[in-house]
Amino acid sequence: MKFLLDPLFAEKGIDLEVDNKTFWFFPRISTIICDWPEATTFSLVYKSTNSNFPCHFCLISKTLLADTDLSDVTFCNNENMQEYFYNNAEQDVSLENIPNYFWSLPSINVYSATVPDRMHHLDLGLFHYQIEFTQALLQKQDSSLVNKIDNRLSKIPRFQKF
């Protein structure tokens, strides 16, 4: 990451030509779209769902990962993760023993900027589980919404094999 991104942030801004006009701007990274293994790589958390804290986004214990009624969640950020890292407590939160390059960049919380997207989930075959999870949540709030989803899903055309 350092090798790839340092040139963007090394200078005091970059000249960008748009529509034959030159603009001086400061590049920033706001979002990193990826799948789950990539998210763990950018965040430098353990790449295992069996680790004690398997989420790159928050500090939820693996024993509570399926709990949909959580009210008290600590979100990862550059400050709290660096505190674990520099106090040699990185193992306590399933953090790799490598300083994260993104901590040095301005205006980015790599843990919230790293977003696993639905396309990657589809590619991994997780769509079925996303639907079941969503249905369980809706069932608790308003069971008629489950029928609405069923109705909409039934209208998606089937894939025509070639």
Residue nearest to Zn ion (CB): 55
Where do the H-state alpha helices sit in the chain? 2-10, 36-43, 78-86, 110-113, 118-123, 127-141, 144-154
Interface with Zn ion by CB under 5 A: which residues?
55, 57-58, 60
Question: To the nearest whole angstrom, how small is the minimum distance from the Cβ of residue 104 to Zn ion?
Answer: 24
Looking at the Cβ atoms of 19 and 72, the one nearer to Zn ion is 72
Q: Which is nearer to Zn ion, 57 or 103 (CB)?
A: 57
Asked if residues 45 and 96 have their Cβ atoms less than 8 Å apart, the reply is yes
Distance CA 65, CA 62 (A): 5
Kindly state the smallest distance separating residue 32's Cβ from Zn ion, in Å: 16
Instruction: Return the CA Rg of the chain.
Output: 20
Half-sphere exposure of 119 (CA within 13 A, CB side): 3
Quote the least distance from Cβ 125 to Zn ion, whole Å: 21
- Is 105 or 116 the residue whose CB approaches Zn ion more closely? 116
Nearer to Zn ion by Cβ, of 58 and 131: the residue is 58
User: Are 142 and 61 in contact, with CB atoms under 8 Å apart?
Assistant: no
Identify which of 100, 94, 53 has the alpha carbon closest to the alpha carbon of residue 78.
100
In the complex, minimum distance from the CB of residue 95 to Zn ion, in angstroms, rounded to a whole number: 14
